Amino acid sequence: MYKGILHTHTLVVTLFLLLYIVKTILLVTGKEATLKKVTDSTKWFERIISVLFLGTGIYLYLNSGNITWMVHVKILLVFASIPMAIIGFKKKKPALAILSVLFLIASYGLAEMNKKQILKVDAPKIEPTQSQAEVGKQLYVAYCQVCHGENGDAGLSGAKNLITSTLTPTEKLDLIRLGKGNMPAFAASLPDDQILAIIDYTNTFKAK
Ligand code: HEC
């Protein structure tokens, strides 16, 4: 579900951006008649994608495990770009229309940057006296809990339920090292023995 909504959101945002880039070019180059034609003929299309844009955005916001300040700046940029575009096209102010498109492109970039934030958490300090079980738990809380939740079954950002997972430990090790879909790759941040300690810890999760 999350994956499908995310793909829809990306598609809709791309269409929205393309339409606004075309309209802005027409405004900047003074092709007013063509701009009016494009605006009139895409009115319904624009309404539908606006609703989808907002609806999928709200769903993703509510179901994401990875909300950082970047996401909030991104949302601010999007909401600031809307009145700019409306005024820009209504009052025929090309600079405002361009700024609004730039805001949208910047928010697109922020969303991409946000994905990498998860790997930048401060690495927890591990003492040599800690048991493997303690290390596994500590690392799980630091790196995995945001999406998988305290008990492994939160499913945020489209995360799979770890309690009902049927993967073997080797398959899990590979998946965690390389990442999959919305799950980041951890090979560069965690050595294999630490990933194995996390897997052991996740095997202690039980359905409530
Ligand atoms: C940004 C959110 C996110 C974080 C952080 C994250 N995961 Fe995931 N995880 C996912 C998603 C999404 C999937 C489903 C991938 C797919 O199949 O498309 C997944 C799948 C898995 C699976 C496979 C389950 C199955 O049966 O298919 C395992 C195991 C797993 N994660 C363990 C971990 C561990 C351990 C960590 C921390 C080191 C972690 N994950 C961190 C999102 C995340």
Percentage of the chain modeled with pLDDT above 90: 72
Residue type, 116: K
Task: Report the pLDDT value the prediction gives residue 101, as an integer from 0 to 100.
Answer: 92
Cβ-proximal residues to 99 (8 Å cutoff; 6+ apart), any chain: 81, 84, 88
* Alpha-carbon gap, residue 133 to 175, rounded angstroms: 21
CB count within 10 Å of CB 117 equals 16
Sign of the Cα torsion 194, 195, 199, 201 reads: positive
Q: Is 167 in the pocket of ligand 1 (CB under 6 A)?
A: yes
Q: Whose CA is nearest to atom 28 of ligand 1?
A: 172
C-alpha 127 – ligand 1 centre gap (Å): 26
Beta carbons of 104 and 119 less than 8 angstroms apart? no
Phi, psi of 68 (to 5 degrees): -120, 180
With the most atoms of ligand 1 within 8 angstroms of its CB, the residue from 63, 148, 176, 196 to mutate is: 148
Q: For residue 208, what pLDDT is reported?
A: 65
Indicate whether residue 28 lines ligand 1 (CB < 6 A). Answer: no
152 CB within 6 A, ligand 1: no
Residue 176 CB less than 6 A away from ligand 1 = yes
* pLDDT tens for each residue of 87-115: 999 999 999 999 999 999 999 888 888 87
> Is the per-residue pLDDT at 207 higher than 80?
no
Confidence band of 182 (pLDDT split at 50, 70, 90): confident
Question: Residue 172: CB within 6 Å of ligand 1?
Answer: yes
Q: How confident is the model over 46-103, as pLDDT tens digits?
A: 999 999 999 999 999 999 888 888 899 999 999 999 899 999 999 999 999 999 999 9
CB of residue 146 inside a 6 A radius of ligand 1:
yes
H or E stretch covering 105: helix 94-117
Euclidean distance between CA atoms 19 and 100, whole angstroms: 13
Query: CA 129, CA 131: separation in Å to the nearest integer?
Result: 7
How far is C-alpha 159 from the geometric centre of its chain's CA atoms? 13
> Which atom number of ligand 1 is nearest to the Cα of residue 165?
26
Q: Average pLDDT for residues 202-206, to the nearest whole number?
A: 90
Instruction: Give the number of the atom of ligand 1 that is nearest the alpha carbon of residue 190.
Output: 38
**Which residue from 160, 163, 182 has its CB within 8 A of the most atoms of ligand 1, so it is best to mutate?**
160
Closest listed residue to residue 205, CA positions, set 166, 145, 173, 162: 162
- To the nearest whole number, what is the mean pLDDT of the chain? 91
Which pLDDT value is given to residue 78?
92
User: Would the pLDDT of 24 be above 90?
Assistant: yes
Q: How sure is the predictor about 119, in pLDDT bands with cuts at 50, 70 and 90?
A: confident
Structure tokens at 38: 């494009």
